[in-house]
Every structure is written in C-alpha cells, then in structure tokens.
Structure 1
Amino acid sequence: MRIGFWKISAGLLVGLLALYLVNPLGTASHDPRLRLLGIAPFSQPSASMAPTLAPGRLILVSAWAHAVSEPQRGEIVVFLPPEGEAAFVKRLVALPGDRVALKQGRLLVNGETVDEPYLHPAPAFGPRHGQDMAERSLAADEYFMLGDHRDNSKDSRHFGPVGRKAFFGRVEKAF
C-alpha cells in the first residue's frame, strides 16, 4: 500500500508542530528556527555591547548551548527582559547565589573585582562605566546581565535579574 504525498506532508507538519509546542530546548523565543533547529540568526540592535558587538551586527544564537549545560559567567546571551517585548543581548556577569555590586565603575562578584577587558573604554573625565550599585544577592534562577558599553546599556541595573526561562540562547558567532 502506498502512502500519498499529502498524508506524509500532513504527518510531518503535525510532528513539527508538536515539536515546536513541546519546545524541548526550553528557549523563550517563539522563533521556529530556535525551537526546532536550536539555532537562529539575530541582529545586534544597539551599541550596548560595543566594542564586542557593533550595532547591526549579525549574530548566531544557539539554544542547544543551554539545553546541554548551564549558563556560565561571561557568556553573551540573548534573552527577553522582564516586561519586555524585544530580545536583548547582554553579558551574563553573575549566576544564581552570587553577590553582585558595582563600585567606582568596577564589577564585584562575591566580593572579588572581575577583570573585564571587553568593556567599552571609559570616558577620560566623569564617572567610570555608569552608576554604582549596592551589593545584591541573586536568588535561585536569577542571572545578572550587563552590557559591555555600561554608559549606554539598559540592563539588570535597570530591570533587575533575569530568570533562566527568559533565555533564548547563547551567542555563538558574530558576523
């Protein structure tokens, strides 16, 4: 007995729809490329990650990265901010359970100053890399995100920590 083209196509379509809805990679994105393939292109929308990522730069995001391992400090992540409609691209600087603070333009995680060679150069005069922030402890499933261009970045200093379920994936490559 031969199965018709339309029956095979319908079965494949139902299977892909089921896979999309199950979302086995756990990405917050509704982009079918991330949900079905685990990888998708995005465009860096702002200068908040300069000089690491210039505005308009094409980036490749992998949902597989966080499906097989936990997010790591220092990774560049695409996520949906709390009460946000557009995806943000920021550096993950603190993990659940960490204590994070900003003092005199320096990032402190668990009381230790973090070396950040990727930061946008600080202005010659005035405050170094934005405002200070009192130390705060992150709860389970809270991640702290900062832009590399701290003086031009809306990040966790403004909207607070981000939950793991808000992650689309890790930036794997920039073009």
Structure 2
Amino acid sequence: MTQSSLKSFRDSIEAIVVALLLAFVIRAFIVQAFKIPSGSMLETLQIGDHLLVTKFAYDVRLPSNIWLDTTDGKVLAKTGDPERGDIVVFKFPEDESKDFIKRVIGLPGETIEIRNKVVYIDGQPIDEPYTQHTKFTRNPIRDDFGPFTVPQDEFFVMGDNREGSYDSRWWGPVKRQKIVGKALVIYWSWGSLTDIRFNRIGTMFN
C-alpha cells in the first residue's frame, strides 16, 4: 500500500470514528428518534409519524448503560420540569424495554379526578382541545377515575385518544426518572409507501 493510500485509509477511519462519536453524543444527550406505532395519541399524533424527542428538556443525564438509555443515569443538570400538556416519551412502567408516548395531565401533588370523561385537577375542570372521543359507552375505570393525588416526582399521563389509550388510568403515574424526553418535531410521516404525509413533516411541539 502506497503512502497516499495509507493516508487515505487513515482519514477514512478517522471520519468514521468521529461520525460514530457524534452519533453517540447526539443520541445520548440531545435527540432521539421515535416512531408512533399506535393510535393512542390521535389526532395529535398519527400512526406512522416519526418524531425527534429532545432529551435535555428536563434533565441532562449520563447514559446508564451501553444502549444509551439516559433514564436512571446520573443527573448532570436539571434543565426544567414537565408541564401539563407536554408530550413525553417514557419507559413503560410494566415493561421498561418499551417506550410509550403520552401527554402530561397531572403534576406532582395535584389531585386528579375524571367524571364522565371530563378531567378535573384539584376540583376544577381543565380545557383539553386536543382530546378525541370515539366511544360513548361508559367504562368505570376509563371514564370515571379517582380522586387520586399524584405522588411527588411522578406524573399522571394520558393519551389524547381517550377511549383508545392504555395510560395512567390503568397502571398509575410515571416516575420522573423514567421520562426519556419531550416531543420536539415530526421529521417524517407516512401511512404507506404511497401515502407520504408531507403536511405533517416539520410539525413542532411546544
């Protein structure tokens, strides 16, 4: 191998190493991509939406394992608190190998109650223009819940598709340290190869 060939090979290896390190840092600390597999967040999120989730919205953490799961890692800095209305990705409490996405409804210390599908926080109904209701038969767990006081450092989350969401009404609140990040933007969306939803690409979340 000639001198120039060796230099070219070394440059290529260096470029690959730098790219891998950048990917490591981005995925561990900055953003991570998620795909929406179910209709629990309809109409806000569609099946086939692809999201970027910011991982430093609430905490900057060291990765807790080689898979770059930043939940449960050491907190380097606290950057904010989840707020009502935030769409968050978190480790599913019943199987932490799965990531779920829901909307934050109840904050630590608040008392949440659902009466005939209407959500009350500390006795007052809240405005929820994002919700979808598809079934009008009553379910005592789904449609009439509580009152329940959210523990400290935990959050009560629900899907926008209220009759099609498996959420905190069934399995309880989410611990703060299990929150992976906050939905940032839809970077791709399709229903199939022939159904690319260009109008959804670039949708931002507050």
TM bin (shorter chain): 0.7 to 0.9
Whether the aligned pair in 2 keeps the contact of 1:81 and 1:159 (CA below 8 Å) is: no
The residue that corresponds to 1:133 in the other structure is 145
Q: Shift of residue 80 of structure 1?
A: 0.7
The residue that corresponds to 2:86 in the other structure is 75
For 1:34 and 1:72, locate their aligned partners in 2 and report how far apart those are by CA, in whole Å. Answer: 23
For 1:33 and 1:153, locate their aligned partners in 2 and report how far apart those are by CA, in whole Å. Answer: 31
Look up the equivalent residue of 2:48 and give its one-letter code: G
Q: Work out the percentage of aligned pairs sharing the same amino acid.
A: 33
The residue that corresponds to 1:98 in the other structure is 110
The residue that corresponds to 1:115 in the other structure is 127
Q: Shift of residue 126 of structure 1?
A: 2.7
Q: Shift of residue 57 of structure 1?
A: 0.6
Q: Shift of residue 122 of structure 1?
A: 4.2
For 1:50 and 1:137, locate their aligned partners in 2 and report how far apart those are by CA, in whole Å. Answer: 27
SS in 1 for 2:84: coil
Superposed structure 1 runs of 4+ greater than 6 Å apart: none
Whether the aligned pair in 2 keeps the contact of 1:94 and 1:109 (CA below 8 Å) is: yes
The residue that corresponds to 1:35 in the other structure is 28
For 1:171 and 1:165, locate their aligned partners in 2 and report how far apart those are by CA, in whole Å. Answer: 16
Q: How many positions carry a matched residue from both structures?
A: 152
Among 38, 48, 56, which residue is 1:56 paired with? 48
Look up the equivalent residue of 2:84 and give its one-letter code: R
SS in 2 for 1:165: helix
**TM-score normalised according to structure 1 size:** 0.77
For 2:49 and 2:35, locate their aligned partners in 1 and report how far apart those are by CA, in whole Å. Answer: 6
Change over 3 Å in CA distance of 1:141–1:60 after alignment to 2: same
Q: Deviations over 1:14-58 (max 9, x none)?
A: xx6xxx7xxxxxxxxxxx64314x101100111000000011211
Change over 3 Å in CA distance of 1:34–1:110 after alignment to 2: farther
Look up the equivalent residue of 1:99 and give its one-letter code: T
Look up the equivalent residue of 1:83 and give its one-letter code: E
Q: Shift of residue 131 of structure 1?
A: 2.3
CA RMSD of aligned residues (A): 2.6
Unaligned segments of structure 2, at least 5 residues: 1-9, 60-78, 187-200, 202-206
Q: Shift of residue 166 of structure 1?
A: 0.5
Higher relative contact order (CA 8 A, sep 6+): 1
The residue that corresponds to 2:185 in the other structure is 173
Look up the equivalent residue of 1:76 and give its one-letter code: I
